[in-house]
Chains A and B, each alone.
Chain A
Amino acid sequence: MSLLRLDEVHTFIGQYHILEGVSLDVPAGDIVALLGRNGAGKTTTLKTILGLTPARKGTVQLDGQDITLRRSFDIANMGIGYVPEHRAIFADLSVEENLRIAERNKGDLAEREELIFGLFPDLKRLIRLPGTNLSGGQQQMLAVARALVPDNRLLLIDEPSEGLAPVIIEQMMEAITRLSEHSTVLLVEQNFIVAGRLAQHYVIIEEGKSVKAGSMADLVDDDETIKRYLGAA
């Protein structure tokens, strides 16, 4: 049973035609990695799912329900958490406020405090600090933690390893593995090593089109595909 399903989605940003037909399936409970070169349209795909850059053609279905034309907040409230590419930590808000603003129901944060601070003990120490004073790694942790505050069944995570030191990447991968026990994850990742270790499935996007999908185990041994679409390795 797929939790999320995109069917021939086309998205425009202003005049630019960014997505030119993206189809993908995210099976419930799994981690799916969205791969492709810079500028291929991976981030836009995530934004289109959330309705931040609404699709002009095609459909987006969550759990069998058509959400293509819904407003973003409505879609998010159906249980989607979003960790954007550049973290989008609210600089004027403290760490605690950054978490609290994600509450959908009063008490969400209290309920999940254990999980969040278990994954990222650093955040507990920094709870009163304004978001602007965090380091890159801490911001990334906070961004993931923020998506965990409400009860989300699907997490959209955009480039969690970008610009992080290797030690922190390890910690982040650990966290994503653990949180995938609670929810399904759609992951955008440039670092193929990270993606290969985390995900069970992959979808490759190129020039705004989804061109290949399958099981990650197969991809890791498929040098031809890696060379052709991802360039690295």
Chain B
Amino acid sequence: MSDVILETRNLTREFGALVAVDDVSVSIEAGSLHSIIGPNGAGKTTFFNLVSGTLRPTSGRVFFKGDDITQLPVHRTIHRGIGRSFQITNLFPNLTVLENVRLAAQAMGGDSLRFFRSHRRFSRYIERAMDVLEQVGLTDKAAQLAGTLPHGDQRKLELGMILAPDPEVLMLDEPTAGMASEQVPELMHLVQSIQESGDKTVVLVEHNMNVVMSVSDRITVMHQGALLAQGSPAEISADERVQTAYLGELYKDRQGDR
């Protein structure tokens, strides 16, 4: 068993009476691809927000490589090496594609407060950004305004912005949301190659069951804020509770037909 890189202990977040995340303890192993699934409203995005520091938990803690990062503000968790993407496209629409990624790369360096040199002199960020753009396949659109990209390319750009700072853990919130089905395998392949080649950990929230089952090392199922099941893809697809709660009655019937 490899080391645990990211761990939550009894993480709970309430919005008034609604318990969006309810006593969730998850351990994510370094170098693994760990998926979190669950129906809409299961609390996956809130869970992401708690881990990345966008939201504060009502109770419970988050550990990264053994350090307690529960109270760290969001910009600090990124510097620790946790990159996080968004379900809803969240870019700088009036800046170019290159600039979006370049900024993400620049955020990691210490020169962002320098104001007397042209940003072009810090060519390592531009080089890094171009590398990333090539990785996600947006090189030829580098000069375009991010807001004018088609939806699928915006998803790729979003991924690029996570990659640019070279984080140890990538938290991807439905990276394929809204993408054309032809592009999905391509993107997932990319995610997988990043995970394998760079010794990175990927935490993935995804709706696409096929994708999840084929790429994940481990799967966590959430339902109505709480942890329903954890295990390998095989274990999860065999788990009765998961099938009834998440995949639904109809799915079970159809499975029976086969």
Real complex partners, A and B? Answer: yes
- Name which of A37, A41, A159, A193 has the most chain B CB atoms within 10 A of its CB: A37
Complex contacts, A232 vs chain B, CB 8 Å: 207-209, 247
Residue B68 CB within 8 A of the other chain: no
A137-182 interface (Cβ within 8 A of B): 159, 162-166
A146 CA / B208 CA spacing, docked (Å): 33
Chain B interface residue count, CB cutoff 8 Å, equals: 38
Residue A79 CB within 8 A of the other chain: no
Chain A interface residue count, CB cutoff 8 Å, equals: 35
Residue A120 CB within 8 A of the other chain: no
Q: Are A15 and B152 in contact (CB under 8 A)?
A: no
Q: Are A39 and B250 in contact (CB under 8 A)?
A: no
Residue A197 CB within 8 A of the other chain: yes
A86 CA / B89 CA spacing, docked (Å): 19
Stretch in contact with the other chain, from B28-36, B142-150, B228-236: B142-150
Residue B109 CB within 8 A of the other chain: no
Residue B176 CB within 8 A of the other chain: yes
Q: Identify which of B94, B181, B254 contacts A233 (C-beta below 8 A).
A: B254
Complex contacts, A39 vs chain B, CB 8 Å: 87-89, 151, 174, 177-178
CB distance from B18 to the nearest CB of A (A): 7
Residue of A nearest to B17 (CB): A135
Residue of A nearest to B174 (CB): A38
Complex contacts, A40 vs chain B, CB 8 Å: 177-178
Q: Are B208 and A37 in contact (CB under 8 A)?
A: yes
CB distance from B218 to the nearest CB of A (A): 19
Beyond the given A38-B177, A207-B151, A208-B151, please list 9 additional residue pairs across the A-B interface where CB-CB is below 8 A.
A37-B179, A38-B174, A135-B17, A192-B250, A206-B180, A206-B181, A207-B179, A231-B207, A231-B209
* CB<8 Å pairs between A and B, sample of 7: A38-B207, A206-B180, A207-B180, A228-B181, A231-B211, A233-B251, A233-B254
